[in-house]
Amino acid sequence: MAQIASLYRYPVKGFSAEALDQAALRPRHRFDADRVYAIENGPSGFDPAAPGHQPKAKFLCLMKNARLAGLRTRFDPATHVWSIDGHGAPFGADLSDPAGRAATEAFLTDFMRDERRGPLKVLSAPGHAFTDVGKPYISFINLASVAAVAELVGHAVDPLRFRAKIYLDGLAPWQELNLVDREATVGAVRVRFAKRIQRCAATNVNPGTAARDLDIPGALLRNLDHMDCGIYADVIEGGKLGLGDRLRLD
């Protein structure tokens, strides 16, 4: 029986994961406070009045900017204060306030240096999430598959390289890839598995050191003839889930 080993959200796209003990999910909705902000790296065309999906390369992201992993960030969803450790003295600002956004943009401009393609700008829009795909999926990673990736690359692999929301113990390696179109209950939440997750260069970044020290997509392609690890799901019936909750497949 598979069960939840860990839960995470990522309030600001490309920055630190935040561990959760539980989450309350709604139908066809992501985790609350997940990717509610992004940092535009030069003009992106994003319109807060009519928000739509944009490719992640238009924002600061680990795929392009490994140095982001050198910062440790925390977000308070009640106050929208974002705190950063690293790059000098600790920093904090209210991302919902224009002055706080301006201070954040100045801090990150100094930190990013020559990786800026233009002005950095804190972006958000009511109800919008800056996800990698334009649908309100939640993401699952099978820890047995992460262990299999470690064997392929000959090196320990931190599961947080995959930046999933739900990490599962108890499945066979790669079993998650065969779950597309199947339904399951996890905790009190009903999901339908929708799509395998193709991995990008973000997984090559060590979340502890900010070094781009592995080639995980390349290893997957060479050994398995695909670059997939993990699976997206739609929430079809809402409810709560938490650490240790079991996943029950139909």
The 10s digit of each residue's pLDDT in 76-86 is 999 999 999 99
User: What does pTM read for this prediction?
Assistant: 0.95
Q: 14, 67 in Cβ contact below 8 A?
A: no
The 10s digit of each residue's pLDDT in 148-192 is 999 999 999 999 999 999 999 999 999 999 999 999 999 999 999
Burial degree of 174 (CB within 10 A; 0-12, 13-18, 19+): middle
Residue 97 has pLDDT above 80, yes or no: yes
Task: Please tell me the predicted confidence (pLDDT) of residue 134.
Answer: 87
Q: What mean pLDDT is reported for the chain?
A: 97
The 10s digit of each residue's pLDDT in 102-142 is 999 999 999 999 999 999 999 999 999 999 998 999 999 99
Q: 161, 149 in Cβ contact below 8 A?
A: no
Alpha carbon separation from 236 to 9, 129, 173, 188 (Å, rounded): 20, 18, 26, 11
Give residue limits of the domains in the chain.
Answer: 2-30+133-249, 38-123
Q: 196, 133 in Cβ contact below 8 A?
A: no
Task: Please tell me the predicted confidence (pLDDT) of residue 227.
Answer: 98
Identify the band that residue 38 occupies on the pLDDT scale cut at 50, 70 and 90: very high
Identify the band that residue 1 occupies on the pLDDT scale cut at 50, 70 and 90: confident
How confident is the model over 94-99, as a mean pLDDT?
Answer: 98
Q: 18, 10 in Cβ contact below 8 A?
A: yes
Torsion of CA 189, 191, 196, 199, to 10 degrees: -30
Residue 242 pairs with which residues in a beta bridge? 22
- Per DSSP, the three-state class of 90 is coil
Q: How many CB atoms lie within 10 A of CB 39?
A: 24
Residue 115 and residue 120: Cα distance in Å, rounded?
11
Identify the band that residue 250 occupies on the pLDDT scale cut at 50, 70 and 90: confident
Residue 141 pairs with which residues in a beta bridge? 167
- As a CATH number, domain 2-30+133-249 is 2.40.33.20
Identify residue 239 by its one-letter amino acid code.
Answer: G
